[in-house]
Amino acid sequence: MVTDSTADLPDEWRDRYGIEVVPLKVLFGSETFRDRVDMTDEEFFKRLATSATLPTTSAPSPGEFAEVFRRLARTYDACISIHIGEQLSATAGAARVGAEAVGGFPVNVIDSQTVSMPIAFLCRVAAECKTLAQATAAVERRVSRCRVLALLDTLRYVEMGGRVSRATAMIGTMLDLKPLLLVVDRQIKSVDRVRTRSRAIRRMVEFLRSELPVEYVAVMHAEARDEAETIAAGLRQELPGQDVPVGGIGCVLGTHTGPKALGLVYLRR
């Protein structure tokens, strides 16, 4: 099993299932950091707050993927490699090219069409399957059910990264509006824009209610753990029997969300 660092895969799952995580990169000017390898999330957001220029991000190279696949080929017969949506990053493409470079080792590269912990959920689904074919089918069936509902504290970061424009989010420059964005169908849609953070959080939960039932759900945050924990506690009450993990947003994704972002990520049933 291979994924990339934007899956926000909890360390515990990585160790339990033996999942390889290929890091994307964050660039502060000419300095390059591998996501969660050369830089922790805490270090990243600290630097983001003080950096004069905004960082940029880049996908792993095909060569880096080839290296990983080559190493896995010594132990395994085949591999499933699940990655951040191709509408957002060139990572899956790099994985595909990397896999071609390693002859005789079948690699099923899957474009998850999404980002963050839904990819980790897909990895877990795959890891619990017995065969490559079963894993691939189980994951592919779920790709279109992945959703990321994000509350950004500001549109500044995602706008600089070019993934969302103020025009599509219908966010002007005057009022301090909190955009609610949904990653769905290979797009980033503007679901709502709300004046205050507390209302935006309520709106997020309302939106999730309209999407029930869900197979998996998690609460993601960038430097907003307390709020994330509160939301998760509420959801656990509302959805008995549902494990609602809280996860941190990594450096690469954090470059585009900025600090204080919150996310409700889930797989519809």
- Residues near other proteins (CB under 8 A) are 86-87, 90, 93, 111, 159, 162, 165-168, 170-177, 187, 189-196, 198-199
Q: Report the C-alpha gap between 70 and 76 in whole angstroms.
A: 10
Work out how close the CB of 210 gets to other proteins at its nearest, in angstroms, rounded to a whole number: 12
Work out how close the CB of 54 gets to other proteins at its nearest, in angstroms, rounded to a whole number: 12
Count CA atoms closer than 13 A to 67's CA, side-chain side: 8
Closest CA to 191 of 183, 182, 202: 182
CA distances from 109 to 1, 84, 106, 122 (A): 10, 11, 10, 13
CB closer to other proteins, 46 vs 166? 166
Work out how close the CB of 155 gets to other proteins at its nearest, in angstroms, rounded to a whole number: 10
Tell me if 80 sits within 8 A of 126, measured CB to CB.
yes
CA 177-178-180 angle, to 5 degrees, is: 135
Closest CA to 268 of 228, 209, 191: 209
Q: Are strands 246-248 and 214-221 parallel, antiparallel or unpaired?
A: parallel
CB closer to other proteins, 29 vs 172? 172
Work out how close the CB of 57 gets to other proteins at its nearest, in angstroms, rounded to a whole number: 12
Closest CA to 109 of 225, 38, 22: 22
CB closer to other proteins, 42 vs 198? 198
Work out how close the CB of 71 gets to other proteins at its nearest, in angstroms, rounded to a whole number: 25
Work out how close the CB of 209 gets to other proteins at its nearest, in angstroms, rounded to a whole number: 16
Closest CA to 267 of 46, 38, 99, 113: 113
CA 24-26-29 angle, to 5 degrees, is: 150
CB closer to other proteins, 6 vs 9? 6
CB closer to other proteins, 143 vs 217? 143
CB closer to other proteins, 36 vs 163? 163
